[in-house]
Structure 1
Amino acid sequence: MSDRRKPFPFDEFEPRWQQLWDAEKTFRAPNPGDADFDPSKPKFFVLDMFPYPSGAGLHVGHPEGYTATDIIGRTKLRQGFNVLHPMGWDSFGLPAEQYAIKTGQHPRITTEANITTFKRQLKSLGFGYDWDREIATTDPEYVRWTQWIFLKLYHSYFNQETGKAAPVSELEAQGWSRSQIDAVRLAFIHEAPVNWSPDLGTVLANEEVEEWKSKGHTVERRPLRQWMLRITQYAQRLIDDLEPLDWPEGIKLLQKNWIGRSEGAEVCFQISTASAEASHAVEVFTTRPDTLFGATYMVLAPEHPLVAEITSSDQKEAVESYIKACAAKSDLERGDLNKDKSGVFTGAHAINPVNGQAIPVWIADYVMMGYGTGAIMAVPAHDERDFEFAKKFELPVVQVVQPIGDADWQGYTDPGTAINSGFLDGLTTADAKTKIIDWLEAEGKGTRRINYKLRDWLFSRQRYWGEPFPLIWNRETGEHAAIPESELPLLQPDMEDFKPTGDPRGPLVKATDWIAYSEQFERETNTMPQWAGSCWYYLRYCDPRNSNQFIGEEVESYWSGGGANPGTVDLYVGGTEHAVLHLLYARFWHKVLHDLGYLSTNEPFQKLVNQGLILGEDGQKMSKSRGNVVNPDEVVRDYGADALRLYEMFMGPLTEVKPWQMKGVEGVSRFLARVWRVAMEQDQTGEWTLSKKLQNVPCSDKALLKVVHETIKKVTEDIAKMSFNTAISQMMVCTNAFTAAEVVPLKEFTLLLSVLNPFAPHLSEEIHRLIGNSSQLAHQPWPEHDESALIESEIEIVVQVNGKLRDKITVAKDAPKEDIESAAQATEKIQEQLAGKTVRKVIVVPGRLVNIVAN
């Protein structure tokens, strides 16, 4: 399109309006304490999941959610709300560090350049952000408060009696020892199996493994000393507090499944080997203790600490080889996605506590240390994974549950009746569970337990481009300690060499001067993960320039709704890729800060909406490797920002997956051109002037008045429902009505511009100015529809002659039958049909038709 004439001069007025919004700070949200703050206004906090500023810049998939929140924000502002709609940058991360390693350029330089590109692109789309609140997780002042929050976690523990976080100073006052306190801190040190990439020189999160493996990097499992956050203490609250939130049920279910609450029993098995002088007690958690009589073998995680002790000499080589192979697999590869079951017999046997039978002990990669105790009792008759494993290795399968109905008992996992289970025989599954747990507790062989699949959050990374831990280590005692808050922020040292050394302490180990905190102490060299900054950024948006607090009390109270809302943010829009971890981690940090008295709400995000993916024109996910990425800069150049915004919302429901089509952009561009031409016309020289059809007169066309107020009503309702595509359809209907009108009443056309404004702000503001208005639509109250204009005072009636449609008439809705008969016979077309005939009968169906019988 760049080589043809533009249908309206969007390239002239769009940049001008963007500059005006910037200069006038049109979308600035005042805070309590500001001179222009109005405490009587309700607040509305609308938030986008902030982007990682990559070197590739935006593609057209990114602005979808941003456009949706902008429409909501602009509308709420005009409905009398104080709207907080901020934007910032999730700017730490491994990609920037890898680019720095390749180019030798400091990651801060490339990150800031990428932010400049992203910001330019967002501004070119006219989004109504309060840019005064812009933040980046890499800003030193932001790092300061991220580290400050970490120290709050470090200095806190979870009080089991109150169910809340509390300062460890409480424990110190009670005489707890240093080692006892360290064992319960919310931020603690632990040696944990991790996804270690030797060539990247860092730990990877489970969800990062496949991405970096696909790029040719090796990843292996190995134990490393890591900083962890005790999120498991919040497992039940993280489940319970989902209930009042306005989130998609699918997202709530994903969170619940990730946390993985299960009720059952912890059962004690004794393991012995031929060479061992003493047996080893191993605890096994099971949700089906009623099937204990069917446990025919036991499986330990390959990294279980007892494996080396119980493995027999003749199995040692096979076991060690298998453990090494497992080290190269991620948790995802080992979990439910792993259909090819593998394992090795240890040579040891365990005693089934209910029947005294010796059962073989295996190791297998589908059992992991992170869930339960790292050991399972295998009941192959009634567990699909155990059944597949037993079939492959020819292990015994004993039925202990009789299914309900005619279901096959092999691999049957639902409730039934206990059989082959001694004193449980004949009991239902529920009753058998109760009885066996009572028996285990009485015999000292087990206890009731609630278990969670959720694991503590591995918080260490071996990277340069991340927040350093504000911690130091005592060289003599090996004890860790926090640095004083007055020394925050602790920034990375300036380094020219960011390359990994293979040392699990990370590249900061090379900064020897920086590490040397004092003669007695040295700094921690691991850094925080990218998740750290994104856990709390929404809070800093509320008070981004506060140098004394991460958020002020009065400001927090206002933007959180005074604690009356279940969540601080009223509307949070983003992709489903963050459905679990980001949301879970942010909820955890928020709850800790709430417990410690810093926040008035218990949750961060009150309402959550996930926009659907926008695919390339080939129907595939947009990516540089596929060559199907559409750059928004090109769309803006050829069609304008309003056309891109409008098309993103017109493609279909916000939450659905949709393919990009340039023909669709052309279609909405034509619609915007029609709106422009209702008000403007072009003379022979190409100059645009006001249309002669546009007149400052009362609207005498009832049909036009009706469609205008129908449009106000529907657009208002559809914005509230985030049904943007149907709102646009209605505005198209209204525009067509104006196009067809001989006279366009100025007042009614302005009402169309008013509701179009959040969708196409540049075009609507420009026309609004050209027709003589000095103030912006952005400052005008949102219009309300006139219900009386929607009432049908007249109806259209079909007129038939001898059963065939011949004409239509318009009559008053309450017209008497006689008047309808007369009007029907009086039209010119009906007179022609009745010429030379005698009317025998006139049938009137009220509100529908008139049938004249004549011959």
Structure 2
Amino acid sequence: NPVNGKDMPLYIADYVLMGYGTGAIMAVPGQDQRDWDFAAKYGIDIVRTVQPPEDFHGEAYTGEGAAINSGFLDGLEVEAAKEKAIAWLEDEGIGRRTVNWRLRDWLVSRQRYWGTPIPMITCPECGLVPVPEEDLPVLHPDVDDYAPKGQSPLATVAEFVNVDCPKCGGPAQRETDTMDTFVDSSWYFLRYTDPHNDEAIFDPEKAGYWMPLDQYIGGVEHAVLHLLYARFVTKVFHDMGLVDVSEPFARLFTQGMIVKDGAKMSKSKGNVVAPDELYERFGADAMRLYEMFIGPATDDAIWSDRGVDGTARFLDRVWRMGRGEIGAVTDRDETKEDTDILRLAHRTLKKVTEDIDRFRFNTAVAAMMEFSNGLASYLRSDAGGRDATFDEAYDMMLRMLSPMAPHVAHELWELRGGEAMLATAPWPALDEALARLEQVTMVVQVNGKVRERIEVDADISEEDAVAAALASEKVQGHLAGKQPTKVIARPPNIVSLVV
């Protein structure tokens, strides 16, 4: 130990990674449980160098604290002690700072015909020679068989492999390994800005017009590697002056994976659900709707065939309403029930619009199901439905349903006299007045327990909400004549009183 001059015991172990740092590690039993276990097993003295809290009774302490048993470092917090120790070692000329990189060579072991060619040529006389710039890009040859055979599929194409050395003109061989397909997918969005350019990778002016992407959607399994590479390549292009932006994506949304039998659905795992049978039983729209309804789009979801049955029943109810098979519709006078169903329609429109914008498809579908239930109850009421009201509400339902179940929605739209494609019809116009809740149920708590529920106006003020809570006989009974010492009001949802 260069600080106190004491000898350090040296142990040789087979679990230390030679590729990490220098291949030798320093063990600190007082601050690492693995080192503690090692020291205890081999009878090595354990010296704490960070002061644990007074109530700490464990073995290795891994938290923050002041340095102890460390000479001139005693009393310093861990980070400050590290900095002072490094500075002392540098001043004494017995140590220096280093950066320990965790980057590794890019994987090229998984060879694919469609991987990115490496533009290098091997010449017996000249060694490795880059493909001249005027011969770039290196294009793939046409092949009949690109199945894996233990080597790159390109290695079997003699006319691709055998070339003249660009340097000496002698016989040479082209590199047949390809880079990982992550290389291809790291900049494809930039090529999309100028896909037909055969003179350059893309026109910087066109890339400048389109970039950055407004919204990028990808699977959560690519949220680390692919995005890391895509950002890296974009930053390289930015440094080269090819693009104006250093970040490729303005907004990112990563979707979860479908899980079946405890593992993500994958051909390699043999747990893929073939859609053919479900399609024949329920139709494409029911399957599509179930995938939206299965759970939050950001989370992994467990697949269940029975779930498709539920969305199929919902679509069947929508169909039967549209074909006049539920309840009755007449040309009657307008009543409160008509206003109520239009309020539900516009509240649904407001929620579905917001949910789609936020990728909350499951709650958007749930709102549509609630709307269809309300509309069916409206048709089955004693008075039945009013034709003008039903037409307005049902028209809104079909327009909202179109992105979720396009085939069923358009068929109903056409059967009811809709013109052109429903997919091109405008989104329904929201009436904020109708979408606003008139009354809601406000909860009143006393000392953390729910003691009352009161119907109040949706736009009730904080002052009126507290007054309504205190006016309740139930609440007064629990206050027992005392004045609240604390009042928390979050109208119109809750008033909490503390006595």
Of 30, 33, 40, the residue aligned with 1:381 is 30
Of 280, 287, 293, the residue aligned with 1:644 is 287
Of 402, 413, 417, the residue aligned with 1:768 is 413
Between 1 and 2, higher relative CO (CA 8 Å, sep ≥ 6) is seen in 1
Q: How does 1:392-411 map to 2 (within 5 A)?
A: 392-408=41-57, 410-411=59-60
Q: Mark the CA change 1:634 to 1:462 in structure 2 (over 3 Å): closer, same or farther.
A: closer
Q: Mark the CA change 1:790 to 1:584 in structure 2 (over 3 Å): closer, same or farther.
A: closer
Q: How does 1:722-761 map to 2 (within 5 A)?
A: 722-739=359-376, 740-741=378-379, 742-745=385-388, 746-761=391-406
Identity over aligned pairs, percent: 41
CA distance in 2, matches of 1:399, 1:498: 59
User: Which residue of 2 is the match for residue 528 of structure 1?
Assistant: 179
CA distance in 1, matches of 2:264, 2:393: 43
For 1:382, the aligned partner's letter is Q
CA distance in 2, matches of 1:790, 1:463: 57
1:443 Cα deviation from its structure 2 partner = 0.9
More strand as a share of residues: 1
| Contact kept in structure 1, 2:334 and 2:386, CA below 8 Å | no
Of 179, 183, 201, the residue aligned with 1:550 is 201
CA distance in 1, matches of 2:331, 2:251: 44
Residue 578 in 1 paired to residue 222 in 2? Answer: yes
CA distance in 2, matches of 1:574, 1:792: 37
Residue 365 in 1 paired to residue 9 in 2? Answer: no
CA deviation digits over 1:58-105, x for unaligned, max 9? xxxxxxxxxxxxxxxxxxxxxxxxxxxxxxxxxxxxxxxxxxxxxxxx
User: Which residue of 1 is the match for residue 88 of structure 2?
Assistant: 439
User: Which residue of 1 is the match for residue 117 of structure 2?
Assistant: 468
Q: How does 1:588-603 map to 2 (within 5 A)?
A: 588-603=232-247
CA deviation digits over 1:694-731, x for unaligned, max 9? 88999982112211111111111111222222222222
User: Which residue of 2 is the match for residue 661 of structure 1?
Assistant: 304
User: Which residue of 1 is the match for residue 348 of structure 2?
Assistant: 711
Q: Mark the CA change 1:556 to 1:744 in structure 2 (over 3 Å): closer, same or farther.
A: farther
Comparing 381-390 and 709-718, the one that deviates more: 381-390
CA distance in 2, matches of 1:467, 1:361: 46
Q: Aligned with 1:574: secondary structure?
A: strand
| Contact kept in structure 1, 2:112 and 2:148, CA below 8 Å | no
Q: Mark the CA change 1:513 to 1:361 in structure 2 (over 3 Å): closer, same or farther.
A: farther
| Contact kept in structure 1, 2:350 and 2:435, CA below 8 Å | no
| Contact kept in structure 1, 2:191 and 2:201, CA below 8 Å | yes
TM-score, length basis structure 2: 0.74
CA deviation digits over 1:632-680, x for unaligned, max 9? 2322222111111111112222223332233321221121122222222
User: Which residue of 2 is the match for residue 159 of structure 1?
Assistant: none
Q: Aligned with 2:216: secondary structure?
A: strand
CA distance in 1, matches of 2:127, 2:3: 42
1:542 Cα deviation from its structure 2 partner = 3.6
1:485 Cα deviation from its structure 2 partner = 4.4
Q: How does 1:65-80 map to 2 (within 5 A)?
A: none
For 2:135, the aligned partner's letter is S
Q: Mark the CA change 1:779 to 1:615 in structure 2 (over 3 Å): closer, same or farther.
A: same
Q: Mark the CA change 1:678 to 1:699 in structure 2 (over 3 Å): closer, same or farther.
A: farther
For 1:460, the aligned partner's letter is V
CA deviation digits over 1:543-582, x for unaligned, max 9? 433333433334323332xxxxxxx333333332223222
CA distance in 1, matches of 2:363, 2:206: 37
| Contact kept in structure 2, 1:468 and 1:492, CA below 8 Å | no
For 2:178, the aligned partner's letter is T
Q: Mark the CA change 1:483 to 1:699 in structure 2 (over 3 Å): closer, same or farther.
A: farther
CA deviation digits over 1:244-285, x for unaligned, max 9? xxxxxxxxxxxxxxxxxxxxxxxxxxxxxxxxxxxxxxxxxx
| Contact kept in structure 2, 1:383 and 1:413, CA below 8 Å | yes
Of 143, 147, 160, the residue aligned with 1:514 is 160
For 1:577, the aligned partner's letter is E
Q: Aligned with 1:403: secondary structure?
A: coil
CA distance in 2, matches of 1:675, 1:747: 15
CA deviation digits over 1:117-171, x for unaligned, max 9? xxxxxxxxxxxxxxxxxxxxxxxxxxxxxxxxxxxxxxxxxxxxxxxxxxxxxxx
CA deviation digits over 1:598-623, x for unaligned, max 9? 2222223333333333333x555445
1:786 Cα deviation from its structure 2 partner = 0.7
| Contact kept in structure 2, 1:367 and 1:376, CA below 8 Å | no
CA distance in 2, matches of 1:614, 1:356: 58
CA distance in 1, matches of 2:94, 2:58: 28
For 1:405, the aligned partner's letter is E
Residue 675 in 1 paired to residue 318 in 2? Answer: yes
Q: Aligned with 1:573: secondary structure?
A: strand
Q: Aligned with 1:413: secondary structure?
A: coil
Q: How does 1:228-377 map to 2 (within 5 A)?
A: 352=2, 355=5, 357=7, 359-360=9-10, 362=12, 364-369=14-19, 371-377=20-26
Q: Mark the CA change 1:608 to 1:694 in structure 2 (over 3 Å): closer, same or farther.
A: farther
Q: Aligned with 2:346: secondary structure?
A: helix
Q: Aligned with 1:702: secondary structure?
A: helix
Runs of 5+ unmatched residues, structure 1: 1-292, 294-351, 561-567, 683-689, 797-812, 814-855
1:358 Cα deviation from its structure 2 partner = 5.1
Of 76, 83, 90, the residue aligned with 1:427 is 76
| Contact kept in structure 1, 2:29 and 2:36, CA below 8 Å | yes
1:770 Cα deviation from its structure 2 partner = 2.3
1:624 Cα deviation from its structure 2 partner = 6.0
CA distance in 1, matches of 2:107, 2:148: 21
CA distance in 1, matches of 2:11, 2:190: 50
| Contact kept in structure 2, 1:636 and 1:644, CA below 8 Å | yes
Runs of 5+ unmatched residues, structure 2: 380-384, 442-458, 460-499
User: Which residue of 2 is the match for residue 486 of structure 1?
Assistant: 135
For 1:679, the aligned partner's letter is G
TM-score, length basis structure 1: 0.45
User: Which residue of 2 is the match for residue 693 of structure 1?
Assistant: 329
